[in-house]
Amino acid sequence: MLSGVVLVLLIACGNIANLQLTRVRDRQREIAIRAALGAGRSEIVRLLLIESLFLAVLGGAGGCALAYIATPAILRLLGDGVPRAADASVDLRVLAFALFASVLSTLIFGLIPALTASKPDLARVLQQGSRGNLIGRDLLRKTVTIVQVAFGIGAMMGLVSMVGARD
């Protein structure tokens, strides 16, 4: 079960990385203008990481709030049909870990797009307009998508084997 949860977490992290890469690609001209005006690579990376961390903390806090609100409702829906369901509760240590995991995964999966965006080809980007053709970054996005599909297939196969082992 734990490996299935880890695979789902990795798939979610891949989704976030893809969204970050797409966002960075869409902001390529803005980043190039910042670099042309004198922003260094570290400042651009810091800006993109701060934005990512803000989104991570907001998403993590929203998920924790949802867990806190939804747990009693889910327990009422389950009733007495599930053994030890009455023992389930929201633990602050688990919520703290979830918030920590969201920040850590954002640092890891937000750093790659930030590093790829922090060194734009200024002349090419500013000449092409707001959207350039970024072959390297599109290759990275496609690679992340392929890894996500592989994890998804692995999760499905693990689920099928678990169900098959029960029968």
Q: What is the pLDDT of residue 122?
A: 66
Residue extents of the structural domains in the chain: 2-166
Average pLDDT over every residue of 14-37: 80
Query: What residues have CB less than 8 Å from 72, skipping those under 6 apart?
Result: none
pLDDT at 55: 81
Q: What confidence score (pLDDT) does residue 110 get?
A: 78
- Contact present, 3 and 140 (Cβ < 8 Å): no
Alpha-carbon distance of 103 to 100, in angstroms, equals 5
Give me the DSSP letters along 26-48: HTHHHHHHHHHTT--HHHHHHHH
**pTM, full prediction:** 0.64
Rounded distance between C-alpha atoms, residue 76 and residue 32, angstroms: 54
Reduce the DSSP state of residue 66 to 3 states and report it.
helix
The reported pLDDT for the residue numbered 101 is 80
The tokens of 157 are what?
Answer: 């196969």
